[in-house]
Structures are given as C-alpha cells and as structure tokens.
C-alpha cells in the first residue's frame, strides 16, 4: 500500500467522507492518488479559503472529519484564516498540505512558495491546530497518522499533515486506530453526583446547549437528558440550529439583550445554569442584560467539567452525557414549554424589503416545502437567521469571519445531499461568492439569498460616519448566468415571494436572489444587539 493510500483509508476510517481541495505542484503527486484511488471523492474549488470553509462545514454538519487538501506555501498559507476559524469554533478539520520532497529540502536552494524557512508553514499551523506531523518516514507514518487523527476527533479541532511530494507513493503499512482514552470512572461518578445534586437544589435550572453537542454527535442524547431531568433548554448564539431534529424542550436561543426577554430572563435568573458544550466567549455572553456569575454555573467543555469553584479534568462530554443518562431515570416533563415564536405570513405587496420580511418569507417557504439546512455569513444575515425556524445551521458565530457561508453551503450539500439555503451579505459575497461557479460540475443547486444594501451595514451601525462602509453597485444577479446559475434582483416583498417560489421549484442550477435592502434598515434582532452593545460600552466608559 502507498503512503497516501494508507492515509486516505485512515481518514475514511475516522469518519471523513470526502476531500475539498486545490492542487499545486507540491501537491500534484498525492492529488493524483486521491483521484485514481477513489477512496474518498475529491471536490476542487477555486480559492483556498473556500476549500477550508467548505471542508469545515462538511465536518460540522456530519459530526465527522472535514478534509482540506492544498499545496505548500501559497496554498496552505492562503487557508490560514479558514483554519483559524475552525480552531476557534472547535471544528474537526484535517489540513493536508503537499510539501517539498526530502531530497530537495536538503539541496541548499530556496524553494518557490517558501516563506522564511522550510518549516515556517508548519510552525504557523502549530498556532491553529492541535496536532501536526510531517510524514517524512514511511515506517513511522502509520503511528503518526493514528495519533494526529485521534487528536482531531478527541479535541474536535484542526490538525495539520504535511506530505513531502517524494513520499506519496512509498510503501507503507496500514494505520491502526488508537483505542479510546481511558476514563477515570470514580472521577466521572463523583462529577455526575455533584452535577445532579446541584441541579436538584436549583429552583430554576436551565440547560444551555453549545457547539460541542453537535461536534460530538450528542443532540439526541442531550434532548433525552433534558426530558429526563425536566430542564428547559436554550441554545447559545453559536449553537443556534442545535436540536432542530430532536424532541427537546427547546425554548429558544439565548442572546442577552438582543434576544427574547423571556429567554434572557430565564437564563440570567437561573440558579442552576448547566452549560453543556458552550464556548464561553463574547458572542455568547457579552451582551447579557444581567451579568452571569460563571463561577456559579456548571460548565462542561474541552474535556473537563467545572462545578462552582473546582474542576474535574479529563471528563469527555460524550462520557459525561452517557453517565448522566445511566443515572437519571426516564420521566416526563415537569414544565410547559413555550417555544420561541417566529415571524410568518409575509405580506406580498409593493413595500421595500427588510430583513424581518426575509425571515418571514423563509419561514413561509419551509412551512410549505419542508426545512432546509442553512449556511449563514456574519452580519445582519446571521441575526436574521435567529428569526428563522430552527433548522440545521452552520455559521461562524464566534470567530465572525466574512466569506464563510457560500463555500460552507456547498460543503453542506456535498455532505448531506440536501439542498441548502445560503444567507450572505454583499460584502461577504464579494469575497467567496464566486465559488458558486463550481456548482454545475457537481450538481449542487443551493438557494442563495444575497442581502444587498450596498454597504458593510453592521460596521456602519458602530461607526456611521465612515464613508468606507459604502460599497458600489455590482449587479450580482446578472453574474449568475455566467457562473451556471439563475439570478434575479428583487426590490419589493411581492418580488421576493415570487422569486422564492421560482427558486424552490427550479432544480439543477443554483438560484441567486439578490435582495435590495435600503441602507440603515436592520433586523430587529441586530437593532437590539447594537443598542445593547452601545449601552454596555457606555457603562464601561463611565466605570
């Protein structure tokens, strides 16, 4: 077996289902084997950031490994931002980079694509991956591959594998997966005892589900746990879309001052807040109406559990949830669930379109045709997504990079086979929207809702005097035909309704609806968020 084949079989055994990539000369040898072996299907895109975002989304939605393959230097370094996003948001992404061969590395010549030293690239990726390896020895390669891939799954974070181009076809043994790490049962039982005791004492306990619940494929188990414990469930802002297919007592998404007052009050007044897989970051907690004393919460994240003022180490989330289910008997809800209301019933008239109208139109569409998985970029499109019925959602809610959602939407359709809905702003579309040109050859046909206010509108809300927030006229809808899709520009609610009806009825080509929104018109959720941030900033200045 060739080294590359051994690596590909190991990726597949660890859950990878496909590879997204862009070849280059240092990567051509292993790209040939990827294509010829057909161990994993290969999807090539147009720009390395798109490759990283697509692979990230594929891994997120399937609770498995996403794989991004690139060349050395100009390819891998062009993907750094996408990998940093995956690291921040705990997405299990495998970076496969071609590299200089062992012989040419000893030539004494500077090599093209080399930045500073030959290992500069690997040292850069040390900052944004949890494990790294250069496969320069076929005898060691199987154990090194096993270690790196186990780390990716265990930590749910990116890893880096560099494959020298003169090593790709050398003989290599198969990779044997490492056994699961042993868990201290006594520590796990003590942790569960304390959690159950804390929840039993609480008068108003709440379970908040975060991204690790999805990363470790625990949505059904968490829903069952919430039912048995009789706990109302909210998702974090980053965790929006969780539990959409599970029968959980879900009351909404916690967004502090930007969210529904009843959800905010329930979370912030809880004396037993159980944070399950929730990243403690500003996008989840910085706009709290009333500061949450995190020292008095239960936090399960990053393989450890903190209860009050002390921490149980090496307690994986999956083991914790499984042991809790063993200990908690089956029971019925002890409370009535008032689920979050969503806007519906778009008034199809000649009025201008607002983000709230888009949310209502999408909810109407899904009510008629079934829910669709969504990919959203940052900005008001993501805040608008908070007013759309719970459905599977991928978005860079914490790292907040622009340009994520179009390639992420392609990753969703490649991975799930389901037609996705993509929510993107005009600024983000300028970055990676052109990846839609790859839809035709792979049979992808997403529906893209492009929020066009000719502006970086979210930035304008915080610094309205800056003229650089203004964007020019691009005519995105007119470009769709040249990329193999259909495009239409809409100005009114009547036109929006008609365009959505046409889009959902048309299969086989991507559908781009360019929605013209007047500058300064925000979703109600973003308006609350901006007002809350400004109010909190004013308090800090006074203090």
Ordered DSSP codes for 33-83: HHHHH-SS-EEE-SSHHHHHHHHHHHHHHHTS-EEEEE-TTTTTGGGHHHH
What residues form DSSP beta bridges with 178? none
According to DSSP, the residues that pair with 94 across neighbouring strands are 67, 159
Q: Judging by DSSP bridges, how do beta strands 304-307 and 298-301 pair with one another? A: antiparallel
Which is higher by pLDDT, 337 or 192? 192
pLDDT tens sequence across 275-333: 999 999 888 887 787 778 888 899 999 999 999 888 999 999 999 999 999 999 886 55
Share of the chain above pLDDT 90, in %: 76
Reduce the DSSP state of residue 154 to 3 states and report it.
Answer: helix
pLDDT at 296: 84
Mean pLDDT of 52-58: 98
Q: What is the mean pLDDT of residues 381-407?
A: 94
The end-to-end CA distance of the chain, in Å, is 66
Q: Is residue 483's pLDDT more than 60?
A: yes
Confidence of residue 258 (pLDDT cuts 50, 70, 90): confident
- With H, G, I as helix, E, B as strand and everything else as coil, classify residue 399: coil
For the record, the structure tokens of 231 come out as 């706990």
Least confident of 109-123, 192-206, 430-444: 109-123
Which two structure tokens, joined as six digits, stand for 201?
């004492």
Higher-confidence position of 469 and 519 = 519
Average predicted confidence (pLDDT) for the chain: 91
What is the pTM for the complete model shown? Answer: 0.94
pLDDT at 105 over 80: no
DSSP letters of 354-394? Answer: -HHHHHHHHHHHHHHH----EEE-SSHHHHHHTTSPS--EE
**Arithmetic mean of pLDDT, 47-55:** 98
pLDDT score recorded for residue 468:
72
| pLDDT of the residue at 157 | 97
Burial label, 268 (beta-carbon count in 10 A; 0-12, 13-18, 19+): middle
488 phi/psi in degrees, rounded to 5:
-145, 140
Asked if residue 143 has pLDDT above 60, the reply is yes
Residue-by-residue DSSP string for 218-269: -HHHHHHHHHHHT--EEE-STTTTTTTTS---EEEE--GGGS-HHHHHHHHT
Instruction: Label residues 20-47 b or e (16+ Cβ within 10 Å = b).
Output: bbbbbebbebbbebbeeeebbebbbbeb
Predicted confidence (pLDDT) per residue in 172-227, tens digit: 999 999 998 899 999 999 999 999 999 999 999 999 999 999 999 999 999 999 99
Give the pLDDT confidence score for residue 244 in this predicted structure: 84
Cβ burial of 300 (10 Å; 0-12, 13-18, 19+) is buried
């Amino acid at each position: 077996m060739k080294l590359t084949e051994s690596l590909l079989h190991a990726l597949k055994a660890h859950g990878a289902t496909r590879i997204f990539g862009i070849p280059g000369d240092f990567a051509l040898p292993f790209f040939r084997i990827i294509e010829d072996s057909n161990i994993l299907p290969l999807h090539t895109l147009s720009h390395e950031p798109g490759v990283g975002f697509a692979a990230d989304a594929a891994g997120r939605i399937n609770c498995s490994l996403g794989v991004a393959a690139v060349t050395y230097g100009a390819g891998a370094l062009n993907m750094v931002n996408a990998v940093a996003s995956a690291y921040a948001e705990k997405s299990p992404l495998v970076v496969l980079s071609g590299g200089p061969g062992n012989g040419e590395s000893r030539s004494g010549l500077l090599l093209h694509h080399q930045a500073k030293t030959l290992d500069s690239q690997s040292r850069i990726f040390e900052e944004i991956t949890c494990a790294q390896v250069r496969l320069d020895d076929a005898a060691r390669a199987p154990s090194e591959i096993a270690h790196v891939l186990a780390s990716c799954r265990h930590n749910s974070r990116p890893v880096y594998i560099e494959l020298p181009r003169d090593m790709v076809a050398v003989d290599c043994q198969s990779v044997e997966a490492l056994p699961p790490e042993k868990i201290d049962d006594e520590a796990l039982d003590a942790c569960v005892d304390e959690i159950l005791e804390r929840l039993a004492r609480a008068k108003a306990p709440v379970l908040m589900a975060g991204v690790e619940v999805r990363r470790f494929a625990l949505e059904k188990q968490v829903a069952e746990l919430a039912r048995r414990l009789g706990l109302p469930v909210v998702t974090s802002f980053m965790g929006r879309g969780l539990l959409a297919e599970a029968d959980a007592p879900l009351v909404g998404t916690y967004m502090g001052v930007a969210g529904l007052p009843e959800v905010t009050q329930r979370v912030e007044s809880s004396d037993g807040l159980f944070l399950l897989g929730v990243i403690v970051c500003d996008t989840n907690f910085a706009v709290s109406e009333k500061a949450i004393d995190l020292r008095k919460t239960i936090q399960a994240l990053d393989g450890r559990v903190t209860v009050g003022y002390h921490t149980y180490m090496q307690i994986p989330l999956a083991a914790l949830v499984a042991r809790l289910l063993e200990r908690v008997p089956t029971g019925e809800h002890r409370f009535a669930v008032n689920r979050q209301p969503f806007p519906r019933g778009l008034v199809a008239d000649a009025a201008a379109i607002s983000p709230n109208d888009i949310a209502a139109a999408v909810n109407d569409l899904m009510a008629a045709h079934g829910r669709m998985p969504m990919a959203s970029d940052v900005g008001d499109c993501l805040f608008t997504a908070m007013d759309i019925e719970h459905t599977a959602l991928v978005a860079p809610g914490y790292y907040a990079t622009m340009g994520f959602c179009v390639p992420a939407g392609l990753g969703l359709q490649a991975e799930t086979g389901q037609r996705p809905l993509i929510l993107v702003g005009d600024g983000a579309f300028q970055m990676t929207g052109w990846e839609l040109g790859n839809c035709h050859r792979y049979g992808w046909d997403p529906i893209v809702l492009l929020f066009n206010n000719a502006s970086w509108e979210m930035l304008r809300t915080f610094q309205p005097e800056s003229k650089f927030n203004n964007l020019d006229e691009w005519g995105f809808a007119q470009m769709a035909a040249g990329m193999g899709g259909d495009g239409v520009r809409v100005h009114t609610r009547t036109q929006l309704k008609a365009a959505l009806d046409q889009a959902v009825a048309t299969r086989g080509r991507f559908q781009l609806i360019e929605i013209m929104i007047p500058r300064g018109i925000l979703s109600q959720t973003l308006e609350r968020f901006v007002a809350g941030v400004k109010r909190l900033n004013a308090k800090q200045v006074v203090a």
